[in-house]
Amino acid sequence: MSPDGTFTYVSPNWKSLLGHDYDFVKDKSLLEFAHPDDRNNLQSVLNRLIDEKNINDIEYRVKNFNDEWKWHSTSLTAQFNSGGEIDSIVGIAHDISERKFAENAVIESQRLSAIGEMASAVAHHFNNSLQIIFSNLEVALLDKSISRQLKNYLETIKTATSDASARVQIVQRFSGKKHIATRYSRVKLNKVVSDVIVQSRPLWKDKQEEKRIEILIDKNIRDIPDVMGNDGELRSVIYNLIKNSIEAMPEGGTIYFETGTSDTGVFIRITDTGIGMTDDVNSRVFQPFFTTKGFEIGRGLGMSGAYSIIKEHNGDLKILRSAPCKGTTIEVLIPFSNFSEENNEQENVKEFEGAANILWVDDKPMIQEIASELIEALGHKCKMVSGGMEALEILEVESFDLIITDIGMPRMSGWQLADKINEKFNGKMKVAALTVWSNQFDDDEGISHNVDFILTKPIKINELKSLIDKAMQLQK
């Protein structure tokens, strides 16, 4: 380079690594290729060369032919003429992009693990709040006198509450702890798509109209069979894909939704008319912490999280088509479901027609109140107590068909209570554990405490009914 940082020569490796022809680079400044945030530092390095003569391991970002940022580590040495003035600068650069990505991934993993730890600490309280909202909605929806319009409003709030719970659990997974197997049920994917289009309207319509940008929604929704899945998690996936499509269309455009069936399953295809992706971005888009948006906009977790969710559904998430300036098509594929096992299980569990006597142990008064209403709405009797010691005292004088205990309680946890109940009744008492978070439960732990059922928050009235029906048929 000349003393001011203008290229006079680059080796053939420049084109191999960055894609620019030599003629394109010659007579341009190094600063033109450097990231705006790194230019001041590079200019300072050039200024210091007259005194320091040699500066090593300068790390900065440089733009390649596809407008992607690569990390370089460069050593610069000043060449002086007979008058003691800098005549030229010789530099050797190494591509350290993979190392920097790995370092950043470790840092982000540690940060996210800390977030997971914090989330675990507050999850009990957060999900209790969701439980109160969700259960009150369930009770309100039992009222046959409410208008259809009000019912639709309540159902929308209920769906949003369920989604909030699912998204909290998705974030918590990154802490690296075990998590409860996600509850799967029949899902109508066409309804998932319709729900998320409505939920994301502020993103693709309201915010864009403020910027005088128009994003259109087009759909080709075919009749498709139900699948087994978690509707909250699947809505989260589609929401992330819509968000990415919007961000890929800074000047506006169209998002096209298509549903249908293939040889192996049911698909949702989302096509946008946005900026598209290069082959390099395409190959890395599902990697954790990979993002082209910058840290202020993205954390590189949306697509990797979506990919993980679909894989847990035994499905596939893939880029069908993408190219710069030609938009992107992404496909979500969920395998066909065999509902025979589910139907057999439902047929084997007969509805209990009597009134079960249930003891519910929970330290939150508001949870006690709403749980009591749910139990009574199902036609059963319920006694509420605030902790393990109180439960053991009542069990000395009263009998119950089923005990439901929260796990996360002060002084005596639900696990400790289950142990004492099993000791007292020789393992004959039916016990259900109520949990919200992965660090409270895994299969081995449930077996070790001889817990018969697991109930997860937010509690759904149909799941509570099913649990009671099963408990009343269980022989111990």
Nearest of 240, 243, 193, 183 to residue 221 by alpha carbon: 193
Together in a domain, 268 and 200: yes
Task: Name the residue range of residue 407's domain.
Answer: 348-473
pLDDT of residue 135: 81
Average pLDDT in the 72-95 region?
92
Together in a domain, 270 and 194: yes
Total of domains in the chain: 3
Per-residue pLDDT reduced to its tens digit, 267-280: 999 999 999 988 77
pLDDT of residue 334: 96
Q: Which of 326, 347, 368 is the last residue of a domain?
A: 347
In a domain, 136, yes or no: no
* pLDDT at residue 45 is higher than 60: yes
Q: Which of 95, 112, 146 is the last residue of a domain?
A: 95
Average pLDDT in the 121-140 region?
76
Together in a domain, 353 and 328: no
CATH number where 452 lies: 3.40.50.2300
* pLDDT at residue 42 is higher than 80: yes
In a domain, 342, yes or no: yes
In a domain, 59, yes or no: yes
Together in a domain, 399 and 340: no
Together in a domain, 323 and 360: no
Per-residue pLDDT reduced to its tens digit, 321-343: 998 999 999 999 999 988 765 55
Together in a domain, 256 and 314: yes
Average pLDDT in the 163-183 region?
61
Together in a domain, 80 and 67: yes
Together in a domain, 437 and 450: yes
pLDDT of residue 181: 55
Together in a domain, 210 and 298: yes
Together in a domain, 357 and 337: no
Q: What whole-number distance in Å separates Cα of residue 421 and Cα of residue 443?
A: 19
Task: Indicate the pLDDT class of residue 295, thresholds 50, 70 and 90.
Answer: very low
* pLDDT at residue 65 is higher than 60: yes
Together in a domain, 270 and 400: no
Least confident of 28-32, 93-97, 167-171, 321-325: 167-171
Indicate the Cα dihedral angle 3, 5, 10, 16, nearest 10°. Answer: 160
